[in-house]
Structure formats: C-alpha cells, structure tokens
Amino acid sequence: MTGTTRTSADLDPRRRRTLYRSWHRGIREMDLIMGRFADAEIGTLTDAELDDFELLIEVPDRDLFRWITDEAETPSNYDTPVFRRLKAFHQHGAPVDL
C-alpha cells in the first residue's frame, strides 16, 4: 500500500518517478509528508521547482523531518520556496480530524 490517491497516468516519466520516490522514502511519516504534497502539487511544479523537490527527496528522513517540524534550522541551500510550500502544506491552525 503506497497511500497515494493520485494517478500517475497523466504525468511525464520524471514526475512519475518523483511521485513514486515521494511515497517510498523510508519511514512512513516522511512518506506521508512528501507523498501527500506530491499528490497535490506534482502536476503543477515547474521544472525548476521539481529540481528543488527532487533535492529534498535526497535529504535523509531524520534531517528533513527536523527541518519541517522546526526542531533544527533549515540550511539555506534547502530553504527554497518549494520547501516552504511543503512545510506550509502540512501546517494546521486547528486540530486535525481523523
């Protein structure tokens, strides 16, 4: 079970690969963080934004999770508009209904 809710049929090979990698990172928490964002945004990312997202996919789970949760400072080379979109995508102002 991947968790993805998006079909990749309409995506070019690069975006299909990136979507798959987003859902198969290592730890389930990061699969959900990266995969849900990819499901929602992969079709609208520009090539430059996709470059930035692919760089984030290469970051070890522990480091990326700490940046997203503000447990550690995000290095400037990763603090891109795409990273900030990813982070904002998962911020909630109220409790999340499960």
pLDDT of residue 4: 63
Domain that residue 36 falls in: 13-91
**How far is C-alpha 86 from the chain's CA centre?**
6
> Residue 95: its pLDDT value, please?
57
Domain assignment of residue 44, yes or no: yes
Which CATH number does the domain housing residue 87 bear?
A: 1.10.150.250
Q: Does residue 3 form part of some domain?
A: no
Considering the domain boundaries, does residue 55 fall inside one?
yes
pLDDT score at 92:
67
Per-10-residue mean pLDDT, the chain, length 98? 63 90 90 93 94 96 94 96 94 59
- The whole-number pLDDT of residue 9 equals 66
Domain membership of residue 78 (yes or no) is: yes
Residue 65 inside a domain? The answer is yes
Query: How distant, in Å, are the alpha carbons of 58, 64, 67, 68 from that of 61?
Result: 9, 5, 10, 11
How many separate domains does the chain show? 1
Q: Is 96 inside any structural domain?
A: no
- Residue 71 in any domain: the answer is yes
Q: What was the pLDDT predicted at 10? A: 77
